[in-house]
């Protein structure tokens, strides 16, 4: 596994990371602690050094899982986590909260759950319109000065928020959704990141599983799988969107690669400061995903993908309306 640096920050990580959310939360029932630890440690064994979690995943249990799994390797890995939500007594999201005092409280709690004395990359999970970005960045800057945090990140932030934060505390990385079927960051975000020297961490690089080719209109999700509420995963949309998978299959046929591997290789070919974080709960899928680093897409391949993808109108919004309101663009 090769390494990449996230922008100008100097933070070096494996060229593919591991998104750990689905081990505990969001995509149906979580795996057992033993299975989760085994999956994370299998990633370490295969050269992954970049692991992504958040306090809201569970809530709390995903950070605990990641902390326990990575404790023996702590000095060899980079752990990213996030603040920014209110969490009620039932562990459910209850709105946004990026007040400086809350950032400090969350950070102290995350340090304990992650069994560490520093958080390598601390993201604001969603921009909080009620708290000036200068105050958010200032709070993280203080934590960095204290050695409790090493790098500052933002998630799903827009141009104005990124510039405001970066002026107070340099932003190491932006994490946002980006894949062959969601390319909105190309319009304004990627040029800004290149200008400012900020790394990019695409989440859902496999389209929440759709780009693996293992989901079609007949697929049934468990009742606690958030994709049940995502318009892009309505049965009609899934049927229409198979055209994207067929494109990946066509390219994969030429490269002896799966659709998932082509989707990840396409991302890796976009920018050298881009580090996707696909998630999985299965070791054979982990190995498949990591195999993407050996798939070489030529300029002609990339042009073929772009031309073909431009003719495919992807159906359905990527979030329900309630979640969409929390995205700062």
Residue 300 within any structural domain of the chain: yes
Q: Write out the two tokens for 194.
A: 């290149």
Residue 223's pLDDT band, with cuts at 50, 70 and 90, is confident
Residue 174 within any structural domain of the chain: yes
Instruction: Write down the mean pLDDT value for the chain.
Output: 95
**Residues with catalytic roles:** 57
Per residue in 64-118, pLDDT tens? 999 999 999 999 999 999 999 999 999 999 999 999 999 999 999 999 999 999 9
Per residue in 121-172, pLDDT tens? 999 999 999 999 999 999 999 999 999 999 999 999 999 999 999 999 999 9
Residue 161 within any structural domain of the chain: yes
pLDDT reported for residue 270? 98
Q: How far, in Å, are 39, 72, 95 from residue 115 at the CA level?
A: 18, 10, 27
pLDDT reported for residue 47? 98
pTM comes to 0.96
For residue 54, pLDDT over 90 is answered with: yes
Query: What is the span of the domain harbouring residue 149?
Result: 3-324
Residue 220 within any structural domain of the chain: yes
Residue 231 within any structural domain of the chain: yes
Mean pLDDT of 290-315: 95
Residue 323's pLDDT band, with cuts at 50, 70 and 90, is confident
Q: How far, in Å, are 3, 213, 222, 289 from residue 251 at the CA level?
A: 25, 13, 31, 16
275 contact partners, CB below 8 Å, separation of at least 6: 4, 6, 13, 14, 15, 16, 17, 50, 199, 200, 201, 202
Residue 294 within any structural domain of the chain: yes
Look at the chain and report how many structural domains it folds into: 1
pLDDT reported for residue 326? 67
CATH number of residue 209's parent domain: 3.20.20.100
Residue 329 within any structural domain of the chain: no
pLDDT reported for residue 246? 96
């Amino acid at each position: 596994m090769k390494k990449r640096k996230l922008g100008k920050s100097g933070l070096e990580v494996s060229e593919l990371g591991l998104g750990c959310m689905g081990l505990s939360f969001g995509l149906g029932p979580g795996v057992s602690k033993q299975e989760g630890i085994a999956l994370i440690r299998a990633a370490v064994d295969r050269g992954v050094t970049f692991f992504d979690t958040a306090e809201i995943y569970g809530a709390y249990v995903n950070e605990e899982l990641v902390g326990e799994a990575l404790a023996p390797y702590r000095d060899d890995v980079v752990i990213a986590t996030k603040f920014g939500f209110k969490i009620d007594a039932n562990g459910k999201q209850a709105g946004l909260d990026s007040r400086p005092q809350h950032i400090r409280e969350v950070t102290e709690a995350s340090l304990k759950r992650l069994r560490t004395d520093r958080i390598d990359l601390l993201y604001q999970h969603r921009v909080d319109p009620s708290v000036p970005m200068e105050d958010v960045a200032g709070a993280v800057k203080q934590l960095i000065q204290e050695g409790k945090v090493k790098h500052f990140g933002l998630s799903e932030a827009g141009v104005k928020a990124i510039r405001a934060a970066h002026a107070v505390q340099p932003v190491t990385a932006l994490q946002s959704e980006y894949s062959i079927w969601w390319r909105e960051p190309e319009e304004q975000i990627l040029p800004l990141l290149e200008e400012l020297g900020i790394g990019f961490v695409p989440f859902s690089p496999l389209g929440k599983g759709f780009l693996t080719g293992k989901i079609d209109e007949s697929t049934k999700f468990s009742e606690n799988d958030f994709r049940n509420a995502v318009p892009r995963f309505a049965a009609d949309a899934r049927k229409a969107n198979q055209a994207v998978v067929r494109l990946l299959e066509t390219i994969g046929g030429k490269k002896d690669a799966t659709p998932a591997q082509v989707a990840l290789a396409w991302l890796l070919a976009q920018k050298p400061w881009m580090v996707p974080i696909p998630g999985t709960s299965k070791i054979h899928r982990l190995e498949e995903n990591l195999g993407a680093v050996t798939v070489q897409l030529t300029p002609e391949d990339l042009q073929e993908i772009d031309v073909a993808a431009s003719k495919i109108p992807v159906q359905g919004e990527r979030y329900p309306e309630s979640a969409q309101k929390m995205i700062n663009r």
